[in-house]
Structure 1
Amino acid sequence: MTRGTRRTAVLKVGGVGVLAALLFAGGLQLASAGENGRPATTAAQTVNCPTVRDKLPAVPAAASAQVERELANLDQEIARQNERLARLAVRPEGGPNFVNNAILGPLRSKRIAVLDRIEIAFNRIGAQRPDLDALATCSLNAPGVPSAVNGGAQGGTGGQNGDVGGQNGDAGGQNGDAGGAARTVDCPRVTLPDVPAAAAAQVQAELATLDKQIAEANARLARLAVRPEGGPAFIDNAVLGPLRSKRVAALDRIEIAFNRVGAQRPDLDALATCGLD
């Protein structure tokens, strides 16, 4: 299936958010087609994590690339867990403590490690080490509420699809300046017609997948800002090309979800290709 370019949308099940929102996040909302193409029906929950970028002091230039990489890791982890929550909305498992034990607990442990690396990045160059301990613990948003994310230094990183966070730009605007050089992917927003209730859970899960892919690509770009590799075509070949292939598959599954319940199959081909912010 061939796909061209335009910009990624939001589905509010009810809208990535993100990632999101958080698809972004899994925790998408489907709203009416008039609002970001999302119809109203049941939505998955998303993780509610404290933003970090806006809690940081001024980031020294010598630490900015490392800080950007770790902020991207935080957003990638949010996208990953929102995707899990979206899939749990389709196929529930475990008992009443499953989400705490299998998602929120491990997420806190991972955030502790990432936040510690951010603190060390300050300390290593002789700057005062910030105290980020209080930002490790996450809870859950109400169904359909997007996760807040940290975004890229020059704009939002994800959550374009209703689950990861913040209507495509929250992240960059609210979260201070990390001063850094990392670029982020610029993907078309996925605007959908009314989503039939019978297809909503599958569509949420796939929007969460799209946001996770964006977060993963942004994390790769953040790492490349720290340790460049390859020639001039490396990002196209190693980041944007594989991202397009993954989006083709996820968008195709969204189309099939409509078709499977007898609804008109939307044409999402033009939304597969991403560029760079």
Structure 2
Amino acid sequence: MSRALPKYNKRRVAIIGGAAAVALSGAVIAGSALAGTPSKSSGNNARTLAASPGTITCQDVASKLPAIPASAQAEVTRNLTLLQTQIQEANNRLQSTVGQGGPNFVNNAILGPLKDKRVATINRIATAIGRTAAKPTGLDALAPCTLNAAGANTGANKGNGNKGNGNNGNANTGNAGSGAAANTTATGGQAAGAGASAVGTITCPDVASKLPAIPASAQAEVTRNLTLLQTQIQEANNRLQSTVGQGGPNFVQNAILGPLADKRKSTVDRIATAIGRTAAKPTGLDSLAACTLTK
């Protein structure tokens, strides 16, 4: 018995030492796993920092213009489109440069250059009108744009609120809020639909019924342009719906009906030219270019 005790003690020491080593290894692994797991609050903070920097908004120019002479319509339309492109490019740069520069970065690198571009474009519009009518004045005041960042900040604050984390509310409260939001959205959608139907519809004179016999050699080109006329009307009606409430009393005429008449005139001219290559060229079709807003 006296000789067996030392062996027993050695085995006990070995077992205890092995268990301690296993426990220590487990603690190291657990610590490493915890160290590598990002906290939810860090993720929320990162998303907040990456929130939208806002939106650049500019004053509408089309609604401030007088009646546009037919000879200037194409140039005016081209520059009105350019104004929209400039705003889109500025907003794209605003998004792609988040966090760059100092407090004056947006004004110096985005808003300032945008204003200069708009001044030049607006001047071209005024000059085009002034060639055959009274040149509009004071349009330069519409050039400056502003940065609207309130929406982004409000959204970030609401998203990180305590109620969203469940500290001040419960599941039932959240469901009730969602239901109310859904009802509000549905009501808003119905109101928007009513407003869209109230804006009216653009109608144009029919061209196909006014054409003479179409030579076979011109049939394909004439058909293609007749289809284009329908596409132009559809696009104009889509824009009419999407711009409800924008501009002043001349907005629809200057920004939608005027450009549509120019497009139709060019298309109708192509139809007449196609027929005229092998037959008598029809005349007077230009009178079918103008469209009206029916409410």
TM-score (norm 2): 0.39
Higher relative contact order structure (alpha carbons within 8 Å, sequence separation ≥ 6): 1
Q: Which has the larger radius of gyration?
A: 2
Higher helix share: 2
